[in-house]
Structure 1
């Protein structure tokens, strides 16, 4: 996970949080989060990179539409990232309440 960009990590989180999303559904979620347009030229090459790394699997709905699912390796990477984050900010939010 250390070799992913922040955008690629956000792709993983978005895909993991949905049931076999297609590219436009992922794009819509990220545009809502980033509050700006995500261009196809940014989205699809980054989706291909996380697929190539074995973190996401790409399937075909029809000849024009692909769907994406997180792989077991992708889940492990997300869990490891969550544990790493927890060691730094785990108590931070409960202390500020």
Structure 2
């Protein structure tokens, strides 16, 4: 996960916590966390990055809407990250 930005990591967590969310679903969830609007020029290139790294799978819900699903590799990366974080959390 060391080659992902914090934003890309947040996208992974959102996608992992949802059942095949659309890009719009991911956008809305991330906007709630960031308390700021996320534009398409930021969202979709970063979604493409995690797809290209094979951490997320992209599929079609219909002709206009894609879905995103975490891959096994993406889940493993999140798990490794959480284990790494836990060693520093003493509360």
**Alpha-carbon offset, residue 63 of structure 1:** 1.0
Q: In the aligned structure 1, how far is the partner of 2:58 from the partner of 2:25? A: 14
Tell me what 1:34 maps to.
34
SS at match of 2:87: helix
Tell me what 1:4 maps to.
4
TM-score by length of 1: 0.92
What are the ranges of 5 or more consecutive residues in structure 2 without an aligned counterpart?
none
Q: Look at both structures and tell me which one has the larger radius of gyration over its CA atoms.
A: 1
Runs of 4+ in 1 over 6 A off after TM superposition: none
Q: In the aligned structure 2, how far is the partner of 1:80 from the partner of 1:54? A: 16
SS at match of 1:88: coil
What are the ranges of 5 or more consecutive residues in structure 1 without an aligned counterpart?
93-97
**Equivalent residue pairs, number:** 91
Tell me what 1:95 maps to.
none
Q: How large is the Cα RMSD of the aligned pairs?
A: 0.5
Q: In the aligned structure 1, how far is the partner of 2:54 from the partner of 2:84? A: 21
2:61 aligned with 1:66, yes or no? no
